Amino acid sequence: MSRRLLISRQNQLTLLTVVIASIGVLIGIGLGVLAGLNALYIAVFFVAFGGLFFFVRSFETAVLTLLVLRSALGTFEALQLPALFAIALNMLTIGYVIICWLQRDRIQTDRFWFFFAGWVAFQSIWVILPALGALPNPLVPFSFTTSLREWIRLFSTVLLYLLVMQLKGKVHPERVINVLFLGLIAPLFVGLLQLVVPGALPDVLAPLGLFGTDVLRLDGTMGHPNDFAVFLFLFMSFTLWKMRHAERIWPWVLLLVTLAFFLVNTQTMVVLGMTSVFVVVFSAYRASVVKVLLGLVLVAAVIGLYSSTGAGQERLASIAETPLLNPDMDISRSILLSWKVPNSFNWRLAQWTFLLNAWRESPWLGYGLHTSSFLSLFEKAAHSDYVRAMVEQGIVGFCAFITFWIVQASWLVQRLTRARAGSKQQSLCFALLAILMALMLGMLTENIWNQTIIFFYWWVLFVIVGWDWESPVSEPKTVEPVSVGPMTVGEMPHAGE
């Protein structure tokens, strides 16, 4: 028995050595190829090699570090750093799972992950069919790569879900949430620079103007103000959840005020509605008069701050020049005005009209993933995730998209009913339900689904809310060394323990 154990451990160590050596060879080849492209990539690969060693030696800490790092990479999209980060994360996840499987260690999953993986696999239909010419898309040679990239983005979220699942039983859920708040440091710091010294920043960090005016919109490290606004909304929601259970509430109040300040300076109107939905729904959890009043005060304060700015007043006033509030204006006139007058509401009406007209040519299966920008005269994203799903994937894909969100809500309700009454886990379930409703509202007029960084953190929270919050975290166990002659071999810690 001891001899068999010795041979088994030697085989495992040999396997790990071969895997690490193989990855090292691939990195060396990559360095040789990229040396002629961009010297920055060489530094990135050296950092990646150090990260690989760190990942092997300290899995839990490495994963938490990667979760924090993601929020700082949006600015460097032109250098493909977010894409490299996603590829590296995918490779690390696949490699870790393969090693666990070969060592017969437990791979943590849950029922929703299997549904999620199946749903993403189903989405590949809208990559394959356009490539085969089965859909009426004259731009197949150009859109196939875009569709494939979109599917890989979805597939990466499945692997992220699986990677975070491997922390179950090793890291307490609340510790994961506390670490995620460190992801605010880089975006808020860059947002502060954009507010204080906008003219002194390089172009990659410079804030955007509002419709060509001098009014600045902060985007932090997200690349677009709308992405930054939804990111801030997400962390404002977590902050409100922390306030409900914190012993010292004032640090969280200060953070909430800071996030609201930056949110107003993104000049993103739809997030005001999302924030209102979250606050109203979350206040209903174990509601009291005081909580409801505080929620209403918070909503009024954020809207009041937004409407007190010149850009906010301008955007609110622009609603009166749309068919929504002007009965004398029809859709045709709003479309014509969208070409000459900078009004985001009329522009959206025109965009949706063009896309839905294209949808009528292929109503059941659409045109393929991420093809909506090819189908509009504006050559822009749909700015409505529901219109996007209908146009790109037809009625079949639209029903699958809606089903995906219904299943998420159902999963959270199950976790809510199973959690201990009044516990942090139960209130977090309720908070995520409120965020889910707010996201679905934002999808009416924004490209929420395309905001990778938002769903990066959404899935982390979605994973850990289903863990056992009551049981203490177990430390990796090590069996006493087994001696065979002059050699001593220790039992390696199991991933499932």
Residues 34-64 pLDDT 10s:
444 455 555 555 555 555 655 667 888 888 9
pLDDT at position 231 is 95
In terms of residues, how long is the chain? 497
pLDDT of residue 328: 67
Q: What is the per-residue pLDDT for 250?
A: 92
d(CA 35, CA 39): 6
DSSP 266: T
CA distances, 160 to each of 4, 47, 113, 129, 459 (Å): 36, 20, 10, 27, 8
Specify the range with the lowest mean pLDDT, choosing from 34-48, 68-82, 112-126, 180-194. 34-48
Instruction: Please list, residue by residue across 273-312, b when 16 or more beta carbons sit within 10 angstroms of its beta carbon and e when fewer do.
Output: bbbbbbbbbbbebeeeeeeeeebeebbeebbebbeeeebb
In the prediction, which pLDDT does 306 show?
74
Q: What is the model's pTM? A: 0.84
DSSP E strand stretches across 100-160: none
Q: How far apart are CA 189 and CA 221, in angstroms?
A: 9
* Torsion-angle region of 80 (φ positive above 0: left; ψ -120 to 50: alpha; else: beta): left
Average confidence score pLDDT of the chain: 80
- List 482's β-bridge partners, or say none: 489
The answer on pLDDT for 491 being more than 80 is: no
Two tokens at 273? 């509605």
Which tokens in the block code for residue 74? 């949006």
Residue 214, burial from CB neighbour count under 10 angstroms (0-12, 13-18, 19+): exposed
Residue spans of the domains in the chain: they are 171-321
Beta partners for 489?
Answer: 482
Q: pLDDT tens-digit profile of 214-237?
A: 568 888 888 789 999 999 999 999
Q: In whole angstroms, what is the distance from residue 432 CA to residue 461 CA?
A: 8
